[in-house]
């Protein structure tokens, strides 16, 4: 940290850049240096291209995959459909079931042993069975992603709903709230941070789930493409696929983080303050519109 700061000062002050820009410039410089050294080492034959291809070769593979030949788009699309359809269906099922179980103590007692058994079963081990049942197409992949995305939202939603503060429940009861109002205005928002944490876990495993499902047995998707290029020792294209998936994983992670921040704004001082200001403005303009 201190070394990094020592580096930042001359860069920032020397070129008259803001600290944030100076940091960006420094990071780009470091990245550029690594790429140049890597390229040089590859050209000098110091790195086995079967182990790690040269940057220029990976870039060329990217161009081929996405521009000149353009065959990766189709597979990327298939994988995206599997990931998102599986995620939405799986987590909706998980949250919905958790709400039912959370609201009904009898159902909860009845379901508990099954939930424990299912939770103890490694999800991906069920993959081959699902493929056997549903075939090699993308429906079986969606089913596998659903399975992978079911449990975290289910478990988190359920424990979020059951951990609602007893005092708050009593307060709602003393105000004559109906069961539905207790659910809608207390349990659901109170469980929201837990639900979002479950969704983030589910989304993080959705991509891996889809890829593993494709590895098991499939004709299309990024997992198939990756496996095909590795088996033909086309490492340039393999790395281009891998980097695509890295970027996809990062985008998914960041978007979930942003959604989380928006939905559970009250957990952060800065966001709470911003939302408070917005509501104050809405309230005032409504008052002005009424002519008050």
Partner 1 sequence: MNSIAIDRSSAAARPVPARPRVVGGVSAGETVIEARGVTKTFGDGSVVALEGASFEAKKGEFISLVGPSGCGKSTLLRIISGLIPKTGGSLSVHGREVTEPRSDIGMMFQKATLLEWRTAIENVLLPTELQRRVTADDKRRAAELLHMVGLKDFEFAFPRQLSGGMQQRVALARLLQTGADILLLDEPFGALDEFTRERLNVELMRVVAEVGGTTFFVTHNIQEAIFLADRVMVMTPRPGRLAKIVDVPFERPRDLSIQQSPEFNALVSEVRDVLGGH
Contact region for partner 1 (CB under 8 A) — 47-55, 113-121, 134-142, 281-289? 281-289
Residue 237 binds to partner 1 (criterion: CB under 8 A): no
Give me the least distance between CB of 273 and partner 1, in Å please.
Answer: 7
Q: Which is nearer to partner 1, 30 or 286 (CB)?
A: 286
Question: Residue 198 and residue 192: Cα distance in Å, rounded?
Answer: 10
Closest approach of partner 1 to the CB of residue 261, in Å: 14
Whether residue 253 contacts residue 103, with contact meaning beta carbons closer than 8 Å, is answered with: no
Return left, alpha or beta for 17; rule: phi > 0 is left, psi -120 to 50 is alpha, else beta: beta
Residues 91-110 that bind partner 1 (CB under 8 A): none
Q: Is 259 in the site for partner 1 (CB under 8 A)?
A: no
Considering the rule CB under 8 A, would residue 292 count as an interface residue with partner 1?
yes
- Residue showing tokens 């499939």: 218
Backbone φ/ψ region at 291: left (φ over 0), alpha (ψ -120 to 50), beta: left
109 HSE (CA, 13 A, CB side): 2
Read off the DSSP letter of residue 68.
Answer: I
How many residues make contact with partner 1 (CB under 8 A)? 34
Shortest Cβ distance from residue 181 to partner 1 (Å)?
Answer: 6
* Residue 222, CA distances (Å) to 44, 60, 212 in order: 32, 18, 10
Give burial (CB, 10 Å; 0-12/13-18/19+) of 33: exposed
Between 133 and 289, CB nearer to partner 1: 289
Contact stretch for partner 1 (CB under 8 A) within 121-129, 137-145, 253-261, 267-275: 267-275
Chain center to CA of 212: 16
Map the footprint of partner 1 across residues 133-192, applying CB under 8 A: 165, 167-168, 170-178, 181, 185-186, 189-190, 192
Radius of gyration of the chain (CA): 25
Nearer to partner 1, 6 or 167 (CB): 167
Q: How far is the CB of 157 from partner 1 (least distance, A)?
A: 17
280 part of the interface to partner 1, by CB under 8 A? yes
Residues 193-222 as x/- pattern, contact with partner 1 by CB under 8 A: ------------------------------
CA distance 207 to 86: 10
Q: Are 169 and 177 in contact (CB under 8 A)?
A: no
Q: Using CA atoms, how far apart are residues 235 and 43, in angstroms rounded to an integer?
A: 16
Q: How far is the CB of 280 from partner 1 (least distance, A)?
A: 4
262 binds partner 1 (CB under 8 A): no
Min. distance of Cβ 258 from partner 1 in angstroms? 18
286 binds partner 1 (CB under 8 A): yes
Q: Does 283 bind partner 1 (CB under 8 A)?
A: yes
Residue closer to partner 1 (CB basis): 6 or 269: 269
DSSP summary character for residue 71: T
| Residues 6+ away with beta carbon under 8 Å from 50 | 233, 235
> Where does this chain bind partner 1 (CB under 8 A)?
165, 167-168, 170-178, 181, 185-186, 189-190, 192, 264-266, 269, 272-273, 275-277, 279-280, 283, 286-287, 290, 292
């Amino acid at each position: 940290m201190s070394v990094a700061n020592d580096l930042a000062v001359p860069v920032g002050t020397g070129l008259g850049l803001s600290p944030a820009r100076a940091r960006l410039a420094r990071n780009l410089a470091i990245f550029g240096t690594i790429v140049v050294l890597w390229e040089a080492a590859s050209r000098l034959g110091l790195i086995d291209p079967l182990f790690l291809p040269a940057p220029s070769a990976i870039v060329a593979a990217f161009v081929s995959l996405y521009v000149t030949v353009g065959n990766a788009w189709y597979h990327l699309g298939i994988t995206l459909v599997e990931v998102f359809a599986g995620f939405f269906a799986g987590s909706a099922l998980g949250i919905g079931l958790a709400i039912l179980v959370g609201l009904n103590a009898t159902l909860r007692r009845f379901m508990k042993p099954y939930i424990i058994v299912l939770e103890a079963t490694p999800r991906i081990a069920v993959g081959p069975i699902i493929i056997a049942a549903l075939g090699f197409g993308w429906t079986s992949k969606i089913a596998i992603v659903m399975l992978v995305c079911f449990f975290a939202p289910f478990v988190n939603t359920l424990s979020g709903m059951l951990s609602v503060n007893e005092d708050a429940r009593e307060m709602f009861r003393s105000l004559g709230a109906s069961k539905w109002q207790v659910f809608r205005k207390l349990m659901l928002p109170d469980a929201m941070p837990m639900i979002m944490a479950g969704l983030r876990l589910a989304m993080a495993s959705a991509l891996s789930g889809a890829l593993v499902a494709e590895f098991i047995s499939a004709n299309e998707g990024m997992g198939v493409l990756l496996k095909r290029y590795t088996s033909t020792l086309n490492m340039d294209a393999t790395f281009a696929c891998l980097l695509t998936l890295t970027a996809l994983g990062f985008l998914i992670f960041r978007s979930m983080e942003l959604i989380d921040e928006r939905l559970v704004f009250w957990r952060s001082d800065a966001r709470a303050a911003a939302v408070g200001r917005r509501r104050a403005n809405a309230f005032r303009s409504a008052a002005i519109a009424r002519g008050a």
